[in-house]
């Protein structure tokens, strides 16, 4: 089995969407709607791209991906590589493909002068947690993640400051 990892090209859009749908199934979530899929492709492959994408192939077949972007740390005064998704198809797990993708991202963060790399992991994904801790990642207990969904954004955007 030959594994190749590379930055995605626009012709990879269909393969990327198949992998995203497989991730949604794994996480027991609804996959992107057709309009969300179009935005995802636009934001990944257009000239004004907002996202970066690595794909892994086994003998030419797409089997894994990592979707990432950059935030910024005001205290470090350096960019942060934020890993949004890393996913390997079930039949290719336990072959160190995820680790190879992850290390590719670590090297990219170092090359770009990032002060850190961050991501979130589902609390039930024990295999991912075990992997991240095995490579020296530290769980941030002093931070709580918050989210405003689309409904909350709409409601809150209509409020006036009291």
Which residues carry out catalysis? 132
CA separation for the pair 121, 84 (Å, rounded):
9
| Residue 6 β-bridge partners | 55
Considering Cα of 9, then 12, then 18, then 19, what sign does the dihedral take?
negative
The pairing of beta strand 116-119 with beta strand 78-88: parallel
Q: Where would I find the H helices in the chain? A: 13-26, 34-45, 97-111, 126-134, 150-157
Euclidean distance between CA atoms 57 and 64, whole angstroms: 7
* Nearby residues of 86 by Cβ (< 8 Å), 6 or more positions away: 64, 65, 66, 67, 98, 101, 102, 119
């Amino acid at each position: 089995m030959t594994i190749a990892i590379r930055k995605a090209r626009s012709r990879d859009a269909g393969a990327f969407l198949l992998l995203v749908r497989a991730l949604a199934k794994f996480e027991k979530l609804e996959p992107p709607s057709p309009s969300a899929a179009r935005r995802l492709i636009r934001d990944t492959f257009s000239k004004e791209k907002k996202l970066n994408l690595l794909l892994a192939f086994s003998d030419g077949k797409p089997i894994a991906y990592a979707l990432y972007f950059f935030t910024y740390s005001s205290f470090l005064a350096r960019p942060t590589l934020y890993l949004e998704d890393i996913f390997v198809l079930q039949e290719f797990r336990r072959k160190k493909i995820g680790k190879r993708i992850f290390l590719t991202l670590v090297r990219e963060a170092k090359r770009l002068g990032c002060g850190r790399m961050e991501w979130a992991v589902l609390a039930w994904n024990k295999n991912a947690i075990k992997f991240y801790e095995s490579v020296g990642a530290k769980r941030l207990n002093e931070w709580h993640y918050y989210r405003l969904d689309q409904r909350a954004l709409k409601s809150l955007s209509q409020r006036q400051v009291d």
